[in-house]
Amino acid sequence: MNEHLDWPGVQQVAQITRERTICGQTTTEVAYFISSLSRARADATRLLELARDHWGAIENGLHYVRDEALGEDRSTIFLGNAPHNLAALRNAGLNWLRRQGISKITATLRSFARKPLRLFARFGYVK
């Protein structure tokens, strides 16, 4: 399949079939992945491990923080582009915090909520 892809550096194409059962209802999902790793560097077992690590990092590093620390799931804003715009702002805020070297997101947000001048000082608005 690699020779059919116009993707620089592609070495492998992988297919993963996921099956899950919730409340007795079984669903199947097929996902495709591309990799720049050769078969010598990553066999099927390694590709599966990498895919799981990738999605685990997204779920635990982004979605969990957005849901728990920023209350995204509790948001009642649902009309028009507002949900997408707020998600973009949340992502920008999280990226800014991480670039500041902050790893304890929830504690830092509580600190900023208690004393907003700390946040403004980080932005350089207050000395």
CB-hemisphere CA count at 13 Å for 89? Answer: 8
- Range with the lowest mean pLDDT among 28-32, 67-71, 109-113? 67-71
The reply to whether 13 falls in a domain is: no
The reply to whether 102 falls in a domain is: yes
pLDDT in the model for residue 108: 92
Q: For residue 2, is pLDDT > 80? A: no
Residue 90's domain comprises 78-127
pLDDT in the model for residue 64: 78
The reply to whether 127 falls in a domain is: yes
Q: How far apart are CA 66 and CA 56, in angstroms?
A: 15
The reply to whether 22 falls in a domain is: no
The reply to whether 36 falls in a domain is: no
The reply to whether 113 falls in a domain is: yes
pLDDT per position as a tens digit, 53-109: 877 666 556 677 888 788 888 888 889 999 999 989 998 998 899 899 998 888 999
The reply to whether 88 falls in a domain is: yes
Question: Phi/psi of residue 64, each to 5°?
Answer: -60, -45
Q: Which amino acid is at 82?
A: A
Beta strands in the chain (DSSP E): 12-22, 25-35
The reply to whether 64 falls in a domain is: no
CA dihedral 36, 38, 39, 40 (to 10 degrees): -140
pLDDT in the model for residue 1: 62
> How many structural domains compose the chain?
1
